């Protein structure tokens, strides 16, 4: 166990295993395609030319590196030092762009002319449509009928980008069914089509490959945090977990340090907490299911976390004890989203607000004692959620707790980087001050 | 499970989604009366990744009715006395891993096909199946390269399931040309000494009884297509075409006629001269 802490997040063992999780549970028809993809990725990932190309597009198209923002006011209120890794500032509004740029470049390298993708919230679909437009690939995005209703604006964005959005009308008509449909279409079109999977799930090599494409979050954050904190690494690293790609990418930058890794799931879609071992969408992991193995539907206010499974590497990190997984409720998420908006001037995605909500709840407890330093990945921006939030009473009528908290923070005369703000997070103080001055 | 091979006709294995209607086991008996050599029973799954619209709908309908794996196995066991043909369960890995091979064996199941369990992942289940006396039937696809095809043929039991198309289950207007090529490749490999355990290693043994049958499935939709597939392979699995009729409300008696028509087409398709010479030749 202690060794596991120092080992970090390694490449999977043969066959795509992370401990007893992972693997390649796909129909025989897809085995050659998965094998070819694995080989192409291995080849590309060790090719400096490919890396350079990806770095270029990350910089000039996606706007990387993304900023690290000290959450001065919220830090002061919570008595911790909270640093935000701003994936919300990446092009298309979330970390999903990191993965699709990598996969689209790889698809092109493999001679594929078309991308297919599954999407829930539509963020991955938008990112895939974006990369397809950029690299001259055709794109088809499969999306559950129910999600299409919930995320109409993202459907429009995908269409505007030239992608075809195909409604999935079977099963629960959400992300898991869209994923099934994308797999079916992949089987039938494997010659010219790359399946651009959106998270660290699916058959080998996807969980590993997507983590590697998202690793840029953790690596940038590691450098940025080192410049902020005298200790070099934060005490805690936290990210929200749907399939687990922004968390995996973040954790990859810190797994070999002493930092505690915390993944935050939606209470209604918590495969790590409530799931049991199962095989879905091509890998063995933890999944919400009944005793017979029928996959359950997840329920979260955040469409991007409405997924009954979780990436196999998270199941492994959880089992080995290297990472810890917690849940927050929809109500906590709404409060957190609003509080971050009011304290820091950042409207984050509902998904990302899960991570914020855990920090708010844990701060000052044994889970996250006063004075702790925290790196939190803000996986996306909230624009996509505004229509949905307009209907939430909590957004127009702030709960009592929130109102009481705000003046307390304000009365302390906190300014970004101001001394009062730095007091609780002493260690970060100097660094945060540097940023502000 | 021994599927009779090398007699005068190709094998017919019709498919039914377990629990699709209240009287679903009556369809099994109808299939048997119509001349099925074995019957494939699909376990309905919430996430049928390898199934097209028809079998997805059948699966949904069964689950909506409240069908459970346990109830399906219970009902299967209950008609065991009346079912003489082998029952082969087709399921997704997650259901099989949960229910366990033992339980399938108890219900009288003699063969198992797991759609999303390729060679790399199947070793564990294969040994459990061997212990329980259940045949693990492995699938091959048009894209399966020869070396891999050889390995699968070596490990498959009961028969080799040749997936006719690069795609999901569902009806097609014609039999995919790659189906015949795949069946031919598989049959050739199965006659190699040492590939098929039951072949007894003798190359000059021309009797095809000695090797595993190759059945063509996915998309075999009409009696005409069945006849073609029956000539290319050693028989057919027919699923979606039958399930569409069941979903449309056709009765067990109706399905008996459907399967009877498939039976007749298969029988006539190879009824002349020496069937196996034709199959391995260029007739397809
Ligand atoms: C902003 C945002 N964060 C997080 C997620 C969850 O995905 P993952 O857990 O793979 O990072 C999504 C998925 O749509 C998302 O849009």
A409 ligand 1 Cβ < 6 A: no
* Residue B212 reports pLDDT greater than 50: yes
Lowest mean pLDDT among A387-396, A397-406, B65-74: A397-406
| Averaged confidence pLDDT in chain A | 91
Rounded mean pLDDT of B226-251?
96
In B, minimum Cα distance to A175 occurs at B47
Percent of chain A topping pLDDT 90: 84
B92: Cβ–Cβ under 8 A, 6 or more apart, which residues? A279, B43, B45, B47, B48, B49, B50, B114, B115, B116
Element (H, E) at B163: strand B160-163
- Residues A18-61+95-206, CATH architecture: 3-Layer(aba) Sandwich (3.40)
The answer to the question of residue B278 being in a domain is no
Note the pLDDT of residue B271: 44
Show residues of chain A in contact with B161, CB under 8 Å: none
Which DSSP letter does residue B86 get?
P
Note the pLDDT of residue A189: 96
B50 lies in which domain range?
A: 11-268
**Residue A100 is encoded by which pair of tokens?**
């699709």
Note the pLDDT of residue B33: 98
* Residue A431 reports pLDDT greater than 60: no
Which pLDDT band holds residue B280 (cuts at 50, 70, 90)?
very low
Which pLDDT band holds residue A247 (cuts at 50, 70, 90)?
very high
CA–CA dist B79, B8 (Å, integer): 29
* Residue B5 reports pLDDT greater than 70: no
β-pair type (A260-266, A323-328)? parallel
Angstrom distances, CA of residue A118 to CA of A215, B59, B87: 21, 22, 36
Q: Are B269 and B227 in contact (CB under 8 A)?
A: yes
Rounded mean pLDDT of A308-318?
98
More confident residue, B270 or B145: B145
Rounded mean pLDDT of B134-142?
97
Note the pLDDT of residue A8: 79
**For position B150, which CATH number holds?**
3.20.20.70
- Residue A382 CA to ligand 1 center (angstroms) comes to 12
Query: Length of chain A in residues, anyone?
Result: 437
The answer to the question of residue B209 being in a domain is yes
Q: How far is A103 from chain B (nearest CA, A)?
A: 22
- Residue A304 CA to ligand 1 center (angstroms) comes to 5
In B, minimum Cα distance to A14 occurs at B120
A377 ligand 1 Cβ < 6 A: no
Where does residue B274 rank: exposed (0-12), middle (13-18), buried (19+ CB within 10 A)?
A: exposed
Note the pLDDT of residue A64: 98
Q: Give catalytic status of residue A118 as yes or no.
A: yes
A125 ligand 1 Cβ < 6 A: no
* Residue A107 reports pLDDT greater than 80: yes
Lowest mean pLDDT among A344-348, A410-414, B49-53: A410-414
Rounded mean pLDDT of A271-300?
97
Q: Are B17 and B55 in contact (CB under 8 A)?
A: yes
Q: Give catalytic status of residue A96 as yes or no.
A: yes
Where does residue B249 rank: exposed (0-12), middle (13-18), buried (19+ CB within 10 A)?
A: exposed
Pick A68-93+215-436's CATH classification: 3.40.50.150, 3.40.50.1100, 3.40.50.2300, 3.40.640.10.
3.40.50.1100
Q: How many domains does chain B have?
A: 1
Note the pLDDT of residue B196: 57
Note the pLDDT of residue B2: 66
* Residue B283 reports pLDDT greater than 70: no
- Find the catalytic residue in A85, A96, A112, A384: A96
Nearest-CB residue to B141 (from A29, A176, A287): A29
CA–CA dist B228, B222 (Å, integer): 10
Percent of chain B topping pLDDT 70: 87
Interface of B with A in 126-145 (CB under 8 A): 138-145
Rounded mean pLDDT of B186-192?
92
Q: How far is B59 from chain A (nearest CA, A)?
A: 10
Given the structure tokens 């206010």, which residue do they identify?
Answer: A301
Residue B168: closest CA among B214, B116, B120: B116
Which pLDDT band holds residue A7 (cuts at 50, 70, 90)?
low
Which pLDDT band holds residue B210 (cuts at 50, 70, 90)?
low
Where does residue B146 rank: exposed (0-12), middle (13-18), buried (19+ CB within 10 A)?
A: exposed
**Residue B55 is encoded by which pair of tokens?**
């079998």
* Residue A415 reports pLDDT greater than 80: no
Residue B204 CB neighbour total at 10 angstroms: 5
Q: Exposed e or buried b for every residue in A133-158, given b needs 16+ CB within 10 A?
A: bbbebbbbbbbbbbbbebbebbbebb
Which pLDDT band holds residue B279 (cuts at 50, 70, 90)?
very low
| Averaged confidence pLDDT in chain B | 89
Note the pLDDT of residue A307: 93
Show residues of chain A in contact with B116, CB under 8 Å: 25-27, 279, 282
Would you call B71 an interface residue with chain A, using a CB distance cutoff of 8 Å?
Answer: no
- Residue A32 CA to ligand 1 center (angstroms) comes to 29
Angstrom distances, CA of residue A71 to CA of A68, A369, A434: 9, 17, 14
The answer to the question of residue B279 being in a domain is no
Inter-chain touch A293–B97, beta carbons under 8 Å:
yes
Span between the terminal Cα atoms of chain B, in Å: 29
- Residue A307 CA to ligand 1 center (angstroms) comes to 10
Q: Which of A145-154, A413-422, B79-88 reaches the highest mean pLDDT?
A: B79-88
- The angle, 0 to 180 degrees and rounded to 10, between the axes of the packed helices B53-65 and B240-247 is 50
Which DSSP letter does residue A294 get?
P
A189 alpha carbon, distance to own chain's centre: 28
Q: Are A217 and A355 in contact (CB under 8 A)?
A: no
The answer to the question of residue B2 being in a domain is no
Render pLDDT for A358-394 as a digit per residue (tens, 0 to 9): 999 999 999 999 999 999 999 999 999 999 899 888 8
Percent of chain A topping pLDDT 70: 89
The answer to the question of residue B276 being in a domain is no
CA–CA dist A432, A89 (Å, integer): 20
Render pLDDT for A165-214 as a digit per residue (tens, 0 to 9): 999 998 889 899 999 999 999 999 999 999 999 999 999 999 999 999 99
* Residue B98 reports pLDDT greater than 60: yes
* Residue B272 reports pLDDT greater than 70: no
Prediction pTM value: 0.92
Which value does ipTM take for this structure? 0.90
β-pair type (B39-42, B214-217)? unpaired
Note the pLDDT of residue B4: 62
* Residue B85 reports pLDDT greater than 50: yes
Which pLDDT band holds residue A424 (cuts at 50, 70, 90)?
very low
Note the pLDDT of residue A398: 56
In A, minimum Cα distance to B71 occurs at A292
Would you call B148 an interface residue with chain A, using a CB distance cutoff of 8 Å?
Answer: yes
CA–CA dist A196, A218 (Å, integer): 22
Atom of ligand 1 at shortest range from CA of A303: 14
The answer to the question of residue B187 being in a domain is yes
- Residue A351 CA to ligand 1 center (angstroms) comes to 6
* Residue A406 reports pLDDT greater than 80: no
Q: Give catalytic status of residue A344 as yes or no.
A: no
β-pair type (A17-18, A21-22)? antiparallel
A121 ligand 1 Cβ < 6 A: yes
Which DSSP letter does residue A430 get?
H
A343 ligand 1 Cβ < 6 A: no
Given the structure tokens 């429009």, which residue do they identify?
Answer: A156
Render pLDDT for B40-70 as a digit per residue (tens, 0 to 9): 999 999 999 999 999 999 999 999 999 999 9
Is there a common fold for A18-61+95-206 and A68-93+215-436? yes
Inter-chain touch B120–A15, beta carbons under 8 Å:
yes
The answer to the question of residue B229 being in a domain is yes
Runs of H (alpha helix) within A46-163: 48-60, 72-78, 96-109, 123-135, 145-150, 152-160
Rounded mean pLDDT of A50-71?
98
Inter-chain touch B142–A26, beta carbons under 8 Å:
no
Would you call B63 an interface residue with chain A, using a CB distance cutoff of 8 Å?
Answer: yes
* Residue A306 reports pLDDT greater than 70: yes
The answer to the question of residue B133 being in a domain is yes
Give the residue numbers of B marked as catalytic. 40, 51
Q: How far is A341 from chain B (nearest CA, A)?
A: 38
The domain limits of chain A are 18-61+95-206, 68-93+215-436
Angstrom distances, CA of residue A415 to CA of A342, A395, A409, A412, B53: 13, 25, 10, 9, 59
CA–CA dist A353, A328 (Å, integer): 10
Note the pLDDT of residue A395: 85
**Residue B93 is encoded by which pair of tokens?**
């890995």
């Amino acid at each position: 166990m202690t060794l596991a802490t120092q080992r970090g997040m390694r490449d999977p063992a043969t066959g795509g295993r992370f401990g007893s999780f992972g693997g390649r549970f796909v129909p025989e028809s897809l085995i050659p395609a998965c094998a070819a993809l694995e080989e192409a990725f291995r080849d590309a990932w060790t090719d400096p030319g490919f890396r350079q190309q990806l770095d270029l597009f990350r910089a000039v198209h996606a706007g990387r590196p993304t900023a690290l923002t000290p959450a001065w006011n919220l830090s002061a209120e919570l008595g911790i030092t909270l640093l935000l890794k701003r994936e919300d500032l990446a092009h298309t509004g979330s970390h999903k762009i990191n993965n699709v740029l990598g996969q689209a470049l790889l698809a092109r390298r493999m001679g594929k002319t078309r991308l297919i993708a599954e999407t829930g919230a539509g963020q991955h679909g938008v990112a895939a449509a974006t990369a397809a437009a950029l690299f001259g690939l055709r794109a088809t995005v499969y999306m559950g009928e129910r999600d299409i209703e919930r995320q109409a604006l993202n459907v429009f964005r995908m269409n505007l980008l030239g992608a075809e959005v195909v409604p999935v009308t079977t099963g629960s008509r959400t992300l898991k069914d869209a994923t099934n449909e994308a797999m079916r279409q992949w089987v039938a079109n494997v010659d010219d089509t790359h399946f651009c999977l959106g998270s660290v799930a699916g058959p080998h090599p996807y969980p590993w490959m997507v983590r590697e494409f998202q690793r840029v979050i953790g690596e940038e954050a590691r450098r940025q945090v080192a410049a902020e904190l005298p200790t070099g690494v934060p005490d805690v690293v936290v990210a929200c977990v749907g399939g687990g790609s922004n968390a995996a990418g973040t954790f990859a930058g810190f797994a070999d340090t002493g930092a505690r890794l915390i993944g935050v799931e939606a209470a209604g879609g918590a495969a790590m907490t409530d799931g049991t071992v199962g095989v879905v969408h091509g890998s063995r992991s933890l999944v919400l299911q009944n005793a017979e193995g029928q996959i359950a539907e997840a329920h979260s206010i955040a469409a991007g976390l409405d997924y009954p499974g979780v990436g196999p590497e998270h199941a492994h990190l959880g089992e080995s004890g290297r990472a810890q997984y917690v849940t927050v409720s929809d109500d906590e998420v709404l409060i957190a989203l609003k509080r971050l908006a009011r304290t820091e001037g950042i409207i984050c995605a509902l998904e990302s607000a899960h991570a914020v909500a855990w920090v708010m709840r844990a701060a000052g407890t044994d889970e996250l004692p006063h004075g702790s330093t925290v790196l939190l990945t803000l996986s996306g921006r909230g624009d996509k959620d505004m229509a949905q939030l307009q209907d939430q009473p909590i957004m127009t009528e702030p709960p009592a707790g929130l109102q009481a908290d705000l003046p307390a923070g304000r009365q302390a005369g906190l300014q970004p980087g101001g001394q009062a703000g730095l007091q609780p997070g002493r260690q970060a103080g100097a660094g945060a001050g540097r940023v502000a001055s | 499970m021994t599927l009779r091979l090398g007699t005068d006709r190709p094998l017919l294995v019709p498919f039914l989604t377990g629990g699709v209607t209240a009287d679903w086991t009556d369809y099994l008996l109808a299939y048997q009366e119509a001349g099925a050599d074995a019957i494939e029973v699909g376990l309905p799954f919430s996430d049928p990744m390898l199934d097209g619209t028809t079998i997805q709908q059948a699966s949904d309908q069964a689950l909506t009715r409240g069908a459970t794996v346990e109830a399906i196995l219970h009902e299967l066991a209950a008609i065991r006395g009346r079912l003489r043909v082998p029952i082969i369960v087709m399921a997704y890995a997650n259901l099989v891993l949960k229910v366990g091979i033992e339980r399938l064996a108890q219900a009288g199941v003699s063969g198992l096909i797991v759609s999303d369990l390729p060679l790399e992942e199947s070793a564990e289940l294969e040994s459990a199946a061997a212990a329980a006396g259940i045949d693990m039937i492995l699938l091959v696809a048009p894209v399966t390269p020869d070396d891999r095809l050889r390995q699968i043929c070596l490990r498959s039991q009961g028969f080799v399931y040749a997936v006719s198309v690069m795609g999901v289950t569902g009806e097609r207007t014609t039999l995919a040309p790659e189906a015949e090529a795949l069946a031919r490749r598989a049959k050739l490999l199965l006659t190699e000494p040492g590939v098929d355990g039951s072949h007894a290693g003798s190359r000059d043994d021309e009797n095809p009884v000695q090797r595993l049958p190759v059945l063509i499935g996915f998309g075999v939709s009409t009696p005409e297509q069945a006849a073609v597939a029956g000539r290319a392979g050693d028989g057919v699995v027919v699923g979606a075409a039958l399930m569409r009729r069941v979903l449309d409300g056709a009765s067990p008696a109706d399905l008996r006629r459907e399967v009877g028509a498939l039976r007749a087409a298969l029988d006539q398709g190879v009824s002349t001269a020496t069937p196996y010479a034709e199959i391995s030749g260029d007739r397809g």
